[in-house]
A and B are shown apart, each in its own frame.
Chain A
């Protein structure tokens, strides 16, 4: 009887501790571009899209520039495909790390102006 509760308790505590550790490790705070340049860790930034970006055939990476609300400009290099609606985006959210003058993005989230969505489309 007792051993069952001990095991159950271990599962709960173990899982919770493990979840808390994993959670802390994957937290990516939303910061301004100026802060991102000093952060030395994975952060999330949002900025106005400044160009259509460029997919480099040799490095196979996608490079573009954004400008944050603080006016700072950031060069972002994304190791992946150019998002399909990139050219229509007003803002881009990038998750990644700033190193040697370049923001290496692991994830991109493209924010499109809502006028492209037809009236009442929320699905």
Chain B
């Protein structure tokens, strides 16, 4: 579509003009240059918003001749998921990044006149680079331009390829935009750091950048949390975090952004940490770019469960990372020696040294996750064969990391700035005592391992200390409590993570249809499958009397069975049921004898004779499309005496058959109607071996194999995440107000 492609190309030109004009204005300070730079930026923004609007319009009105619309959407999607199609593919996410970047540009122009020229030119440089990628891979290209072999020119495909069913989830509608808002927000501290380096303003950049750093930290954190929650309630593997490269590549920049926030707090307070803060701001952004390279280039296909295709864009993505890496580090190396070293005061028991340790822990943790995630690349370069390693590596790291972090978060608030003193230690003696008693209690409740136990104790300790401060400040209407509230949230999250992942119980169970089973004290009954209105089969369950639902359906799009768990949130724990497989009833007979019965003929079976009389068609007609067909079989003994009648049934359920087995006259074996042959007037039945079938509830029934797990106190984790986000919002409000 020529208008869309032209708009992309013009955006690039407008961005370049704006960058140059901003740069020249910064040198010469001619007002006309500033006006020109802004007009060029506004033009670029309008073009970007136009493209975003155009793409959304194309998706909503099914313009399948556009490659992006064809590749990611289809007619059967609801409005909700049509909207999320916008960020289902790379081009859409890049466009989203551009649109958010443009918004941030307006924000900078409005609020930061002083730093505007250079900050804007560096932000726009990032946007220009992304625009190049979009020119190369444009969402508005016609399908026949991209793939002339499959699409005749000028013919609009009747329907699109569809949206990955995993993305058809309410959480996926908001998770990507928030995460991308976070990614693109890291541009702002980066641009400020470049400004600081070029202008030699190693001190004055701190105050204006701090709120933006908090903003980036908030969005990255919220995006990561939403992603984890999505994974927990949608994917059905039972967890919220799997140390996958995709997850790690957003976690690393988040950890660095948190380190940056703490570093800026120190510098704002007493001037030290100048070099470190600039480095942290640059690294946060470089890690964002590196992460998008790792996850989009397809380089980790052999090491990640996420299915990335090989991308023709890897060259551009490598260029993006290398360009900004080189740019920031050259600038850093050129200037850093002239930064006057100002030691961070000083003694051990001060607030700032504990903040320093905290930064150290965050950075170390980030670096080791970075190394682990990149290991396939690193080992591929240095060794003959790429190596991989188990994700336990990260868990080993997380334990001691959490202990250190919790200890620091607990103690830092009771230390004074710049004066080394433990004098407030006594005031938290009670908190310490309560935490130790709590430790004894949880020890007897079952947390016996050393590291989890220590984390629990320290987590409560930090919650009590930071919580008390939060409440005190709130009473005084002092809105500087955001950080403390974030820490309370972190403490709760640590507790929830320990209990729900370290002390969860799981079991694989077989649930025969309509047969209650006791699992972890819950009475769970598998009720059968029900087709969903969206064409996806639901697995109906009954848990202690109320109906629950999981998903289990075949996806043509993914060419796979898709599983969605049933998650029942109870106050103290989640009951998590994830289907593994549904075993049809005819496959759950142990050893059976297959018999073909022809209508009105006596067929011998053991010392019986079976006589197939006919069908009982009007057995019951269950609602609408369900039909139950039963075969009437008379059973004679060896003397030719009629001793009983059996009616095995076959249930037709749309296009799915389900068998209704019956018990044979011996009272032990199960009889099952396997198939019907109308032409030969015959049926095929299976009679199971009597003794093996006798006490087994699964025989002849459809069986749901499922993994059932209970996750104790996972609500602490969710509560913690909510408090953390709230704390960030308060901090953001406070930082912007105070400026």
Cα separation A18 to B397 with both chains bound (whole Å): 7
Instruction: Confirm or deny: B520 has a beta carbon within 8 angstroms of a beta carbon on chain A.
Output: no
Q: Is the CB of A26 within 8 A of B397?
A: no
Which residue of chain B lies nearest to A23 when distances are taken between CB atoms in the complex? B393
Most-contacted residue by chain A among B298, B307, B348, B698 (CB, 10 A): B307
Q: List 23 A-B contacts (CB under 8 A).
A: A1-B346, A8-B360, A12-B360, A14-B400, A23-B393, A25-B392, A25-B393, A26-B390, A30-B388, A60-B508, A81-B563, A82-B580, A83-B560, A85-B560, A112-B559, A117-B309, A118-B161, A119-B67, A120-B146, A121-B72, A122-B296, A122-B309, A123-B308
- The smallest beta-carbon distance between B283 and chain A, in angstroms, is 17
Instruction: Confirm or deny: B310 has a beta carbon within 8 angstroms of a beta carbon on chain A.
Output: yes
Cα separation A57 to B581 with both chains bound (whole Å): 10
- The smallest beta-carbon distance between A73 and chain B, in angstroms, is 22
- The smallest beta-carbon distance between B307 and chain A, in angstroms, is 7
1/0 contact string of A16-56 vs chain B (CB within 8 Å): 10110111011111100000000000101000000000010
Apart from A4-B353, A81-B580, A118-B161, what are 10 other A-B pairs with CB-CB below 8 Å? A1-B346, A11-B357, A28-B390, A57-B510, A84-B561, A86-B560, A109-B302, A121-B72, A122-B298, A122-B310
What are the residues of chain B within 8 A of A111 when measuring CB–CB? 302
Which residue of chain B lies nearest to A6 when distances are taken between CB atoms in the complex? B348
Near A by CB (< 8 A), chain B positions 53-98 give 67, 71-72, 88-90, 93
Q: Is the CB of B298 within 8 A of A84?
A: no
Near A by CB (< 8 A), chain B positions 686-726 give 698, 703, 705, 707
Which residue of chain B lies nearest to A61 when distances are taken between CB atoms in the complex? B508
Q: Is the CB of B393 within 8 A of A22?
A: yes
Q: Is the CB of A120 within 8 A of B67?
A: yes
Cα separation A30 to B356 with both chains bound (whole Å): 40
Cα separation A114 to B311 with both chains bound (whole Å): 12
Instruction: Confirm or deny: B396 has a beta carbon within 8 angstroms of a beta carbon on chain A.
Output: yes
Cα separation A61 to B313 with both chains bound (whole Å): 41
Task: Decide: A22 near B357, CB < 8 A? Known: A117-B307, A118-B161.
Answer: no
Instruction: Confirm or deny: A3 has a beta carbon within 8 angstroms of a beta carbon on chain B.
Output: yes
What are the residues of chain A within 8 A of B353 when measuring CB–CB? 4
Q: Is the CB of A29 within 8 A of B356?
A: no
Chain B residues within 8 Å of A, Cβ to Cβ: 67, 71-72, 88-90, 93, 137, 146-147, 150, 161-162, 164, 167, 296, 298, 302-303, 305, 307-311, 313, 346-348, 353, 356-357, 360-361, 364-365, 368, 371-372, 385-393, 396-397, 400-401, 404, 508, 510, 558-563, 578, 580-581, 583, 588, 698, 703, 705, 707
Task: Decide: A11 near B385, CB < 8 A? Known: A60-B705, A122-B296.
Answer: no
Task: Decide: A88 near B348, CB < 8 A? Known: A15-B364, A29-B385.
Answer: no
Q: Is the CB of B364 within 8 A of A12?
A: yes
Q: Is the CB of A57 within 8 A of B588?
A: yes
Q: Is the CB of B580 within 8 A of A23?
A: no
- The smallest beta-carbon distance between A59 and chain B, in angstroms, is 10
Q: Is the CB of A84 within 8 A of B364?
A: no
What are the residues of chain A within 8 A of B365 when measuring CB–CB? 15
Cα separation A21 to B347 with both chains bound (whole Å): 32
Q: Is the CB of A119 within 8 A of B146?
A: yes
What are the residues of chain B within 8 A of A12 when measuring CB–CB? 360, 364
What are the residues of chain A within 8 A of B397 when measuring CB–CB? 15, 18-19, 22
Cα separation A3 to B146 with both chains bound (whole Å): 64
Q: Is the CB of A22 within 8 A of B385?
A: no
What are the residues of chain B within 8 A of A119 when measuring CB–CB? 67, 71, 146-147, 150, 161
Cα separation A57 to B590 with both chains bound (whole Å): 11
From A82, A112, A122, give the contact of B581 (CB < 8 A): A82
Cα separation A22 to B399 with both chains bound (whole Å): 11
Cα separation A83 to B558 with both chains bound (whole Å): 12
From A11, A109, A117, give the contact of B305 (CB < 8 A): A109
From A3, A22, A84, give the contact of B347 (CB < 8 A): A3
Please list the 3 inter-chain residue pairs (A to B) with the smallest Cβ-Cβ separation, ordered nearest first.
A85-B560, A22-B396, A118-B161
What are the residues of chain B within 8 A of A14 when measuring CB–CB? 400
Cα separation A100 to B313 with both chains bound (whole Å): 46
Q: Is the CB of B146 within 8 A of A55?
A: no
Cα separation A111 to B347 with both chains bound (whole Å): 55
Task: Decide: A11 near B404, CB < 8 A? Known: A84-B563, A117-B307, A120-B146.
Answer: yes
- The smallest beta-carbon distance between A103 and chain B, in angstroms, is 16
Q: Is the CB of B389 within 8 A of A114?
A: no
Q: Is the CB of A26 within 8 A of B309?
A: no
From A28, A106, A122, give the contact of B90 (CB < 8 A): A122
Cα separation A82 to B147 with both chains bound (whole Å): 35
Cα separation A57 to B356 with both chains bound (whole Å): 55
Task: Decide: A60 near B510, CB < 8 A? Known: A11-B357, A22-B393, A119-B71.
Answer: yes
Most-contacted residue by chain B among A86, A107, A122 (CB, 10 A): A122
- The smallest beta-carbon distance between A120 and chain B, in angstroms, is 5
Q: Is the CB of A26 within 8 A of B580?
A: no
Which residue of chain A lies nearest to B705 when distances are taken between CB atoms in the complex? A55
Which residue of chain B lies nearest to A3 when distances are taken between CB atoms in the complex? B348
Task: Decide: A123 near B559, CB < 8 A? Known: A25-B396, A82-B580.
Answer: no
What are the residues of chain A within 8 A of B558 when measuring CB–CB? 84-85, 116
Q: Is the CB of B581 within 8 A of A4?
A: no
Q: Is the CB of B90 within 8 A of A85?
A: no
Cα separation A32 to B543 with both chains bound (whole Å): 46
Cα separation A30 to B560 with both chains bound (whole Å): 26
Q: Is the CB of B705 within 8 A of A122?
A: no
Task: Decide: A28 near B388, CB < 8 A? Known: A7-B357, A120-B71, A120-B146.
Answer: yes
Task: Decide: A121 near B559, CB < 8 A? Known: A22-B396, A55-B705, A95-B390.
Answer: no
1/0 contact string of A50-82 vs chain B (CB within 8 Å): 000001010010000000000000000000111
Which residue of chain A lies nearest to B400 when distances are taken between CB atoms in the complex? A18
Q: Is the CB of B707 within 8 A of A30?
A: no
Q: Is the CB of B698 within 8 A of A114?
A: no
Q: Is the CB of B581 within 8 A of A81?
A: yes
What are the residues of chain B within 8 A of A106 when measuring CB–CB? 390
- The smallest beta-carbon distance between A24 and chain B, in angstroms, is 9
Task: Decide: A19 near B388, CB < 8 A? Known: A26-B393, A85-B558.
Answer: no
Task: Decide: A27 near B389, CB < 8 A? Known: A85-B559, A93-B302, A123-B90.
Answer: yes
What are the residues of chain B within 8 A of A26 when measuring CB–CB? 389-393, 396
Task: Decide: A123 near B389, CB < 8 A? Known: A23-B372, A85-B559.
Answer: no
What are the residues of chain B within 8 A of A29 when measuring CB–CB? 385, 387
